[in-house]
């Protein structure tokens, strides 16, 4: 497997792993706390961590690609852009679906 392919595969896996971690932490905190605020705080912290991770992956990809002309850095940039594009399109489609379902009758 080439370095470019490895770079493309890493961002979606990291993103999915952090989202699953956020859901698990939220469920655990929600089941152990008396109110839902702790679970909301836990989920918000995990998604802030996801945002920070996305920024770090982009910075590492830019540095590796522009300073060292690394294929792995280019793969990171392509993979992260594809992942964000997928989640962006999925978010838009889900929002449209919810808007259509909740139309007044």
For the chain, how far is it from start to end, CA to CA, in angstroms? 54
Domain of 61 in residue numbering reads as 3-101
Residue 74 has pLDDT above 90, yes or no: no
pTM: 0.69
Q: State phi, psi for 5 to the nearest 5 degrees.
A: -65, -40
Q: What is the average pLDDT score of the chain?
A: 83
| Pairwise pLDDT comparison (90 vs 37), residue with the higher score | 90
Q: How many domains does the chain have?
A: 1
- What Å distances lie between residue 89 and 15, 31, 38, 51, 84, CA to CA? 16, 32, 30, 17, 9
Q: Where are the alpha helices (DSSP H) in the chain?
A: 3-32, 37-68, 71-101
């Amino acid at each position: 497997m080439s370095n470019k392919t490895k770079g493309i595969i890493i961002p979606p896996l990291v993103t999915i792993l952090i989202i699953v971690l956020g859901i698990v932490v939220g469920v655990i905190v929600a089941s152990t706390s008396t109110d839902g605020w702790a679970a909301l705080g836990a989920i918000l912290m995990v998604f802030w961590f996801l945002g920070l991770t996305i920024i770090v992956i982009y910075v590492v990809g830019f540095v590796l690609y522009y300073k060292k002309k690394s294929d792995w850095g280019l793969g990171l940039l392509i993979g992260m852009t594809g992942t964000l594009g997928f989640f962006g399109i999925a978010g838009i489609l889900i929002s449209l679906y919810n808007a259509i379902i909740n139309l007044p009758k």
